[in-house]
Amino acid sequence: MKKWLYMLPVAAIALSAGFASANEVKVSDEEMSIGKKAYFDRCSGCHGTLRKGATGPNLEPKRTTALGTDALKVFLEFGTPGGMPSFKDMLTEKERDIMARFLQVPAPLPPEMSLAEMKESWKVLVPVDKRPSKPQHNRNWKNYFGVILRDAGKAAVIDGDTKELVGIVDTGFAVHILRSSASGRYMYSIGRDGKATIFDLWTDKPTMVAEVKVGSDARSIDSSKYKGFEDKYAIIGDYWPPQFIILDGQTLEPIKVVSTRSMTYDTNEYHPEPRVAAIIASHIAPEWMLNIKETGYIWIVDYSDLKNLKITQLEAERFLHDGGWASDKRHFLMAANMRNRVVVVDTKNKNVPAIVDVGTKPHPGRGANWDDSKFGPVWATPHLGEPALALIGTDPVNHKANAWKMVKKVPVLGAGGLFVKTHPKSDRIWVDSTLDPDPEKTRSLTILNKKNLDEPFKTIKVADHGRVVHLEYNDKGDEVWVSVWDKKGEIVVYDDKTMKEKKRITGDWLVTPTGKFNVTNTVGDIY
């Protein structure tokens, strides 16, 4: 196992006997490892491994020593007006004190990871020729839901028809998302620790067939969805090391690693940590689209010839986060949430026709698409920073005047919105408000009428505990599934039309459910 390296040689020397920064902030070796773990678990997602800032501000010693231990402790205890939550319930007083000092010494630098090192962790648990050639059960696996059990380090597979638990797989630490292979037969997981797994839905119970660790921090994974490449490749975007990895789609053998370290799109300055945020797979070309968060580029990676890899780099906006396809599957929209903007990309012309101002901190997940009677096809995003859903027109052919403009902003129950969902067969739009400071709103959903967006929104209180997060439809588009994100978690299934509760799935195994991914909708990018 490699040791963490320290950015400054002098810091490395100092660390062997505890560490003191220029203004004599002392951090012992033991405190350094507590700080390192807590920072990785709680802070690096927003502030970056090197603390250069992204969704959260820069936390390098130059700035943190000017703030000082007491001010940093106050931020950790109470949060900030800029949107940082209070860490009072997540870190003890002692841990907050350690963190306040840890943040004033230079950031430890985690190790790089080469292809050879990735291969050391690579395990094929069921070789491809030992896997069934057809489903071994009579269940409607295309209506399965993969459910992340975040803090249990597992994923559950639930039968969407019967609502029964089909099986649980050990995915590893804090899985962030699941995605389907193009055939839908496999599901991939990616954990915050850079471990990826693939499980087979054709066996009686879902079976883990391969795993690999390709970094120490990651959030995104997808498959090759273009005709002729179905289930052939997978791609993983790392937060650390800043790179993406192309893998065999059935065995997860890592094939190629590409660094994202490069210059920022606007100031043309070198950035040592451009993290890969959302990845989406094209249905109309052998291409993946990657958000390169810190440099503000969107990379279009052509996977048809891995030896002569072609990457188109589009200037977009900084701190790109998440987003998804417009309904034409030719254009897609990505949020640069700290700049309050959404970047539109045309994958055919390979350019950026527009960057749209939408309000405070858009957070679309993958967004939601529908055909609006007034504006034509639209894509929508909730916001972290305001209680509103922004609609952008997405049809440059038949509704040119509305294309790539924010055509409407609809009020919703709460701010702190993370995800929105609809389905082509539904008349409703469901929105969460997971990170709203008001616990009532955190536990409730907003439901809008697609046919009349001016009609006051309806709300449902889903639970009396935890946070309510992430929505997903079933294959027919007549049910909405939502997670109650708590130690004793729940999945609540609503009838989309009547908005009545159909089923509350509970059980000891339902530990901290977050994202849910229906096979049919995930394969087809239906949202």
> Is 84 considered catalytic here?
yes
Closest residue to ligand DHE in the complex (CB): 45
Shortest reach from residue 150's CB to ligand DHE, in Å: 5
418 binds ligand DHE (CB under 6 A): yes
Where in 22-83 does DSSP place strands (E)?
26-27
* Binding span for ligand DHE by CB under 6 A among 262-270, 273-281, 392-400, 401-409: 273-281
For ligand DHE, the closer CB: 49 or 203: 49
Distance (Å, whole) CA 443 – CA 111: 39
Give the x-and-dash track for 180-219 against ligand DHE (CB under 6 A). Answer: ---------------------------------------x
The Cα diameter of the chain in Å comes to 68
| Sole binder of ligand DHE in the list 176, 213, 339, 443 (CB under 6 A) | 176
For ligand DHE, the closer CB: 202 or 517: 517
For ligand DHE, the closer CB: 202 or 370: 370
Collapsing DSSP to helix, strand or coil, 54 comes out as coil
Catalytic residue among 1, 7, 47, 465: 47
Cβ neighbours of residue 418 under 8 Å, at least 6 residues apart?
363, 365, 382, 384, 432, 434, 435, 469, 470
Q: What single DSSP character describes residue 22?
A: T
Near ligand DHE in 71-130, by CB under 6 A: none
Catalytic residue among 321, 383, 399, 423: 321
**Measured in whole angstroms, how far is the alpha carbon of residue 376 from the centre of its chain?**
28
514 binds ligand DHE (CB under 6 A): yes
For ligand DHE, the closer CB: 25 or 468: 468
Collapsing DSSP to helix, strand or coil, 316 comes out as coil
> Is 283 considered catalytic here?
no
| Sole binder of ligand DHE in the list 203, 220, 250, 474 (CB under 6 A) | 220
Q: Give me the DSSP letters along 438-493.
A: SHHHHTEEEEEETT-TTSPPEEEE--SSSEEEEEEE-TTS-EEEEEEESSS-EEEE
Near ligand DHE in 30-59, by CB under 6 A: 45-46, 55
> Is 113 considered catalytic here?
no
Where in 303-457 does DSSP place strands (E)?
310-315, 320-325, 331-336, 341-346, 351-357, 368-372, 376-381, 388-393, 406-411, 420-421, 428-432, 444-449
> Is 363 considered catalytic here?
yes
Q: What single DSSP character describes residue 65?
A: H
> Is 331 considered catalytic here?
no
State which H helix or E strand residue 12 sits in.
helix 9-15
Cβ neighbours of residue 235 under 8 Å, at least 6 residues apart?
221, 222, 223, 224, 244, 245, 246, 247, 279, 281, 288, 290, 301, 303
| Sole binder of ligand DHE in the list 157, 410, 420, 469 (CB under 6 A) | 469
Near ligand DHE in 351-390, by CB under 6 A: 365-366
Token pair of 313 as six digits: 């780099």
Collapsing DSSP to helix, strand or coil, 332 comes out as strand
Shortest reach from residue 206's CB to ligand DHE, in Å: 19
493 binds ligand DHE (CB under 6 A): no
Contact between 186 and 198 under an 8 Å Cβ cutoff? The reply is: yes
150 binds ligand DHE (CB under 6 A): yes
Catalytic residue among 176, 271, 331, 363: 363
Residues near ligand DHE (CB under 6 A) are 45-46, 55, 150, 176-177, 219-220, 277-279, 321-322, 365-366, 418, 469-470, 514-515
Which of the residues are catalytic?
43, 46-47, 84, 321, 363
